[in-house]
Amino acid sequence: MKEKECLLKRVSLSGDARSVLKDLVIPPEILKEQTKGGRVTDVCEKSKEGRTTYLEVTGVIDPVDSTAPYIGWKILLPGQWNLRSVQIGGGANNGSVPSLDGAMLMSNYRPIEHGYVVFGDDSGHQSEDPMSAEFAANEESLQNYIRQHLIKMNGVMHAVVKAAYGVDAEKVYFAGGSAGGREALECACSYGKDYDGIFCADPVSNFVLLRMWGALLSKAVYDSYDEKNHPHSDGFIDEKTVEAIRNDAIEMYDELDGVKDGIVSNIYAARMNREVFLQKIREKYHLTDAQMQTIQVYEDGFHLDYAMPNGENRYHGYCALEGGVMDLGPDPVPREPLDTKYNVHHGDRSDGVFKYFITKDKNWKLIDHDYYKPDEKLYQMLMEASRQYDVSMDFDEFIVHGGKLILFTSWNDMSISPWQIIDQYQKLVKKYGPKKTDGFLKFYCMPSATHCNGIRIDYLEWLDFWCTEGKYPSETLYGIIDKTGGEMPMASFPGWVKYKNGDPMKGTSYEVSYEIPEGFFDKFA
């Protein structure tokens, strides 16, 4: 792959690119989805660490609704272009343009230094608080955030590069995690003809169910709280105890993968021991029924007696008892609105989504409602929200286009359930068949990795090789584990990383094992 990169065709920026771009106006008719067009607001020359010279082009896409915010965007144009572009996804509720000139998410790779056009946008509103959901009160702003900003920005990129280089991009890639992972799936499922390769990590794919999980976790922790009559959150577990439970899990399961390194890699064997571990921590830390219910929501998620329009009625839990960290916050007192600095991790995000995305009621009290047996009004709002906000998971056009997707999930992710991503992957295999799925999708589950973090991998090189050569890299692929600084081979699902022998810092000392306890998926699917 390194040799191939040196042989890539390069195109130089035109001599008058800066002046051409300075006054560039992008007419609305060339953009997909409705806008009033786009325009460049600034062009400046920059260099990266004294080596790579590029133009930084900033601009806006004007909304149809005069009361809606614009979409702010940025594009980096290298002096020598490899005819490829990569769109960088956002995070949380966005509101700002992601960093484009540094290393990519979960990687040491800086695409601008390798000749890529790099571009991104603020998702259609401007906010200093990435958790703020108030922008969703405007319908155009909301629809931009959910998916439309992606293809609008894609169209702007094509217009800018044609103006700057005189030719269009040969390959268009997307890379994102978390909310940017949901964006990655939207690129493949809603705009599959417009993207050649996608990297997607820990995606917020079941948007409504995830926010319901945040609501149910908040209820488990705070439902008993009454400021006057019962000023206690019976389901709250203090941070010291949470950390002690995690340490107990690591101590018990660390060496199931063959090496003592503080990493639980054999998740399957650890999870099969769950009932024993639950009893151990209940007795050791004198956990109450309410606290055990909090752990149950974190570890198992929830089932509903009704389903979303897409047929989904479950949100799977996390590896809370296999080395993950339950983030319940430092304070047992629920704020209004819930605040992630003090309260459970997903409480504030669910609070904002229910207020501004789902119910359109800014006075909605997250923990005051029954989500297992919602009244008719709430039920209908949940159904409509799912229809609008959940990714379709229809990859038909992407497959026909020849698109390629690398999907990644982190075993220690406590924001997006790895088991939920696994469930979605298994449904794709069932829908498209193993061979067809493998032809467009590679799926990795890695230990030690947390939410879009904890590992460094060269996925853009793998993706580009796959898209340009028509085959996936055949050599063993490795990631750098942040916790140890050492290598591990990438584990394709359902594999897990097992130590063989030799230097634990070297990837060749490991293998990907497919030894899974009998009946595991029957019990935990």
Catalytic residues: 178, 413, 451
- The helix/strand/coil state of 200 is strand
Comparing C-alpha atoms, which of 514, 513, 492 is closest to residue 441?
A: 492
Phi/psi at 370 (5° precision): -100, 110
Q: Which two tokens stand for residue 32?
A: 């997909």
Name residue 513's beta-bridge partners: 496
From residue 30, how far is each of 81, 123, 156 by CA, in Å? 23, 19, 9
Distance of alpha carbon 264 from alpha carbon 360, whole angstroms: 42
H or E element, residue 121: strand 117-121
What residues have CB less than 8 Å from 229, skipping those under 6 apart? none
The DSSP string of 232-258 is --TT---HHHHHHHHHHHHHHHGGGGS
Give me the helices (H) in 28-122, please: none
* Residue 68 tokens, joined: 């809606």
For CA atoms 178, 182, 188, 193, the dihedral sign is: negative
Residue 342 CA to its chain's centroid (Å): 23
Cα dist from 299 to 266, 323, 396, 524, whole Å: 17, 11, 33, 11
| Element at 350 (helix H, strand E) | helix 347-353
**Phi, psi (5° rounding) for residue 60?**
-140, 155
